Structures are given as structure tokens and as C-alpha cells.
Amino acid sequence: MATDAPPPEGSTEPGPAQPTTEAFIAEQDSAEFGELRHSYRSFAFPLTVGFILWYLLYVLLSNYAGGFMGTKVYSNFNVAFVFGLAQFLTTFLIAWFYSRHASAKLDPKGEAIKSRMEADA
């Protein structure tokens, strides 16, 4: 819900400067933004494809290799159970790796672009 209400009484802080549409388009064509996009894509796309393939392997094995997936590993735990837990583990590992990658590579570049655009506005 958007309102056109005035800022709270006593507030002297203006909001962040708003770049123009032309500034956004120019930034999108810049080498620094291209590097940011490349850094994101070169990390996210391979991990996404790898995880989808890993998940599909689990689904296909569950459907077509019931004997293998039913093999007991320990006590009442079978291969399917271990693969299922591994799905959760890989999900959390990928999220952790992405968080580290974003903090180290993406956030500094994005913050530099944001600061420059707000300074130019």
C-alpha cells in the first residue's frame, strides 16, 4: 500500500537519491555490472544444474531402481533414506556456499555500483 504521506514530523533525513532511467541503462551496459552479472551466473547456474541433476537422479533411482534404493545400509536405514537426507544436506551446503560467494564477490561489487549511482543522482 503506497501512500503520499509527508515524512514524519521532525524528520530531516531525505531518502536515498533516485537515479534516472538513463543512468540505470548506462550502468547496465557498464563493464563493472557485466562483471557482477558474470560472477553471479558463473556460480549460480552450474550449481543449479548440478543440483537439479542430483535431484533427478534420486527420483529416477527411486522409481526404476527399487532394489538398489531398498538396500539396507545400517539397521532400518536404506539407500533411499540416505539419498533423501543427502538432498537436504546438499540444499543447505549450496545455500551456505552461495552466501559465502555473495558476501565475498557479489555484495562488494553491488554496493560499489549502488554507491556510485546514488552519488551521481
For cell 503506497, the residue is 2
Tens-digit pLDDT string for the chain (121 aa): 555 555 566 556 666 667 778 878 888 888 888 899 999 999 999 999 999 999 999 999 999 988 898 889 888 899 999 999 999 999 999 999 999 999 998 999 888 888 888 877 6
* pTM of the complete model: 0.70
Query: Cα separation of 121 and 118, whole Å?
Result: 5
Question: For every residue of 67-108, which 3-state class applies, written as one string?
Answer: HHHCCEEECCEEHHHHHHHHHHHHHHHHHHHHHHHHHHHHHH
